[in-house]
Amino acid sequence: MAEKKLEDLFHETLKDIYYAERKILKGLQKMARGAQDEKLKAAFEKHRDETETQMERLQQVFEILGKRAQGKTCPAIDGILEEGEEILEEFKKSPALDAGLVSAAQAVEHYEIARYGTLKRWAEELGMRDAVKLLDQTLSEEKRTDEDLTKLADAAANQKAKAA
């Protein structure tokens, strides 16, 4: 068996985030339907659209690698999304629902930021300039989404949950 190298690790992590993005896409649809605040619903819908574009970028990175785009089961994202579904169920019609959904969405964002940051760095190490650009675009979007979620939480969701 050949020794595993950074390119192998990069490919495995790419499969991980590809799987994660597909699952996140479904999760965002559920969260958008469950959100009470219209601005939060809109934020989830916007991120759903961004996620579709991000998946296209991932497919391009697979092409750069000369590999077929495919996912690999990621227990971490499965667990994070399961927590979000629990919040949807346990806090349904509660004033705290939106605050919980923001929290769950930010857990997803932080996972994505960690993965894309690592992939970008490894792509730099591997001299994959085109992949670096694609991964950096997505990383920037994920960071911006996290900031937007914080603003939504501070502007309304947390106060509504606290006042109830």
Question: Residue 80 falls within a domain, yes or no?
Answer: yes
| pLDDT (average), residues 130-143 | 98
- CATH number, domain at 87? 1.20.1260.10
Contact 56, 21 (CB under 8 A): no
Give the pLDDT confidence score for residue 1 in this predicted structure.
75
| pLDDT (average), residues 82-90 | 95
Parent domain of 28: 6-66+75-163
Question: Residue 150 falls within a domain, yes or no?
Answer: yes
Residue 2 banded pLDDT, cuts 50, 70, 90: confident
DSSP symbols for the chain:
-PPP-HHHHHHHHHHHHHHHHHHHHHHHHHHHHH--SHHHHHHHHHHHHHHHHHHHHHHHHHHHHT--------HHHHHHHHHHHHHHHHTTT-TTHHHHHHHHHHHHHHHHHHHHHHHHHHHHHTT-HHHHHHHHHHHHHHHHHHHHHHHHIIIIIHHHHHH-
**Residue 158 and residue 55: Cα distance in Å, rounded?**
31
Question: Residue 1 falls within a domain, yes or no?
Answer: no
Is residue 25 predicted with pLDDT exceeding 90? yes
pLDDT in tens, 101-129: 999 999 999 999 999 999 999 999 999 99
Which amino acid appears at position 85 of this protein? E
Which amino acid appears at position 102 of this protein? V
Domain tally, the chain: 1
pTM over 0.85: yes
As a whole number, the mean pLDDT across the chain is 96
Is residue 87 predicted with pLDDT exceeding 90? yes
Give percent of the chain above pLDDT 90: 96
For 135, other C-beta atoms within 10 Å of its C-beta total: 27
For 66, other C-beta atoms within 10 Å of its C-beta total: 7
Residue 163 banded pLDDT, cuts 50, 70, 90: confident
Is residue 154 predicted with pLDDT exceeding 80? yes
| pLDDT (average), residues 84-97 | 94
